[in-house]
Amino acid sequence: MMSHKVFLTITDAYRQRFPDLCFGIGTIQDCTYFEKNEAFKLYKRDLLRKMRRRNYLAQIEEQIKLYDQFFQDWGYSCPLPNHLKRTIEMGFPIVNLYIDAHIMAEMCHGILMAIQDLDRFEGQWRLDLAKEGERYQAVSGKTFLCKKEEIVLRDEKEIVCSLFQGPDSRTRVDEKSKNIVVYIFTAPSIQEDHVSKGLQLALEILREFGHGKDPWWKIFKP
């Protein structure tokens, strides 16, 4: 089995509007889904202890402030501040391997990550800007409307994720998902190093605890 590389096109519209915002993608194959695992629980505890250290937490908070400002500039509410507050107070969530891995990577590196089923994407990927009023069906089942020029990820069929509004329902992960993709949107002043570390942590968790194979990741620059 070879690593699954994703070929991403960054459109001219995106390059012109957001020339400094990179985008990270990572894939891993043949993962085994689970909801609870004692070794994973202990790993979370150790990672949480590290994350709560004052100097480490200060860096995460600074990153999240950058995302929060970007969301506010576009009239959206950023989920990261509340996620961080909850994590500090209550620890990482216990949902399943896939959801937990992506939240852990977000919180430990102060980045905005999505995790989806790689097999449910169709054709070429494009990092693009939405047209006013474009629609897609979110994970919740609701139909979301996009604002003019908000950042979106597309496959050949339709929008699969909006930076500000989240991923779609068609490509969502579930208990049957085995081939997994994680990707990271950035905001102004987010450094590439945080993106690469976030991808690597998510893939490390999926490899170590989900027994995933052939991880691959890449940072794409406009």
Cα–Cα distance for residue pair 154/128, rounded to 1 Å: 7
What average pLDDT does the chain have? Answer: 96
Instruction: Kindly indicate whether the domain formed by 8-220 is annotated with CATH number 3.50.40.10.
Output: yes
**CB-CB contact of 29 with 178 (8 Å):** yes
Residues β-bridged to residue 138:
168
Residues in the chain: 222
Token digits for 57? 């937490």
Helix axes 54-73 and 80-90, enclosed angle (nearest 10): 150
**Is the confidence at residue 2, as pLDDT, over 60?**
no
What b-and-e string marks burial along 124-146, b requiring 16 or more CB atoms within 10 Å of the CB? ebbbbbbeeebebebbeeeebeb
Tokens for 146, please give them: 């996009």
Residue 26: pLDDT band (50, 70, 90) is very high
> Does residue 3 register a pLDDT over 90?
no
pLDDT at residue 93, rounded to an integer: 87
The DSSP bridge partners found for residue 144 are 136
- 173 Cβ contact partners less than 8 Å away, ≥ 6 residues apart: 98, 99, 115, 116, 117, 180
- What is the pLDDT confidence band of residue 4, given thresholds at 50, 70 and 90? confident
Give the span between the Cα atoms of 196 and 18, in whole angstroms.
19
DSSP-based three-state secondary structure for 85: helix
pLDDT tens for each residue of 77-89: 999 999 999 999 9
Residue-wise pLDDT tens digits, 160-198? 999 999 999 999 999 999 999 999 999 999 999 999 999
* pLDDT tens digits for range 119-138: 999 999 999 999 999 999 99
Model confidence pLDDT, tens digit, residues 34-51: 999 999 999 999 999 999
What gap in Å lies between CA 116 and CA 178, rounded to an integer?
10
Q: What is the average pLDDT across 96-120?
A: 97
